[in-house]
Amino acid sequence: MATLEVPTGGAPLTILSEDEAMFRDAVRQFADEQVRPLVHEMDEKQQMDPSLILQFFELGLMGIEVPEEFGGTGASFFTAALVVEELSRVDASVGVLVDVQNTLVNNAFLRWGSEELKARYLPQLTAERVGAYALSEAGSGSDAFALATRAVEAEGGYRLTGQKLWITNGAEAEIFIVFANINPEAGYKGITAFIVERDFDGFSVGKKEDKLGIRASSTTELVLQDVLVPAENVLGEVGKGYKTAIETLNEGRIGIGAQMIGIGQGALDATIRYVQEREQFGRTIASFQGVQFQIAAMATELEAARLMVYNAARLKDAGQPFVQEAAMAKLFSSEVAQRIASKCIDLYGGFGFTREYPVEKFYRDSKIGTIYEGTSNMQLQTIAKNLLK
């Protein structure tokens, strides 16, 4: 299968260029034709279809920002957000797998990796190997720097010991960015990012979580037992992992915003079709003004969320400050996705509460948006800090 043609040019802030629109439409067609038939089964089995992952690589969706010299498509961060949105419109589990690969893993390599690390790992990440970002632990969720995973200097590198929880892509990934503290006495200034491969001795993937939503996306425990990591596999500087984590997550939150607007759009699309088919009192429920107003209000909120996400992505690509805008976009889009999915269930009535119809899955999938890559309260804290500094 040929790689999709990906635009590299810029565009005005709130609209898509012709190339961007064409690329978005190509991803939308792929999602409708290849992903949609598998959604229900993947959700039931709690497993991503392996054939889809192969297609993600073949289509160039796993290395959108990566330069062509490393096997990527050399496109923009904004393009990655478009991809995540369109995939999430059909299945948010698919959207987040591609999102983590691009906005967290590849992004961290591009920004913090040595030339040797980029040359070694980026061609693998764009062609065949899934990546994961391992920061969270049982005692360090929102307090991400209360890490218990330790790194001790050893001959040839560092030995890592600890446990990570809630790691997206954990079941499929072969390359992991793992955060550990090399100097606990120094607090967050001892945190360091390491590149760990799945086959390193002492490394294992543990329990897979049984989740409310995004069930086809794997969320797992990672166990590190005296894992020897070569010194050259330090990502960024020793003791500067906190900076890597913060700045990568700031960018990743835009990707989550894109996932949320995709969920909202998918739920709204399904509901618009349904209300034009469902009849009550001798006419379609779409003919009732009360239903029309609810549809209009949801579409308006969704468009506002979309523009916030797009704006944050454009700012990031332009090299402008975007942290506040990214936090606002994630906060608002995740809340909008939940409101829309909930209201769509109401409009479906009893059918909406069953798994025979798609809106209950959109509702389940939407909940994670206010939790991962920074809870809503953490986004409010970031916004307030930026406004009051």
- Dist CA 4 CA 83 (whole Å): 11
- The CA distance from 327 to 308, in Å, is 10
Of 86, 137, 251, 373, which one is the catalytic site residue? 373
Alpha-carbon distances of 219 from 47, 206, 210, 338, rounded to whole Å: 11, 10, 8, 21
Q: Measured between alpha carbons, how far is 206 from 222 in angstroms, rounded to an integer?
A: 5
The answer to whether residues 96 and 371 touch, using CB atoms and an 8 Å cutoff, is no
108 is written with which tokens? 């961290």
State phi, psi for 45 to the nearest 5 degrees: -85, -10
Euclidean distance between CA atoms 386 and 389, whole angstroms: 5
Residue 222 β-bridge partners: 164, 205
Q: What is residue 46's DSSP assignment? A: T
Task: Say how many C-beta atoms besides its own lie within 10 A of residue 186's C-beta.
Answer: 11
Do residues 252 and 326 make contact, with C-beta atoms less than 8 angstroms apart?
no
Q: Which three-class secondary structure state does DSSP give residue 120?
A: helix
Q: Which residue has the tokens 């906005």?
A: 103
In three-state secondary structure terms, 128 is coil
325 in active site: no
CA distance 163 to 6: 38
| CA–CA distances in Å: residue 317 to residues 65, 104, 174, 313, 314 | 10, 15, 28, 6, 5
Instruction: Compute the Cα dihedral for 275, 280, 284, 288 and give only its sign.
Output: negative
List, as one string, the DSSP characters of 148-217.
--EEEEETTEEEEEEEEEEEETTTT-SEEEEEEES-GGGGGGGEEEEEEETTSTTEEEEEEP--SS-TTS
Residues involved in catalysis = 373
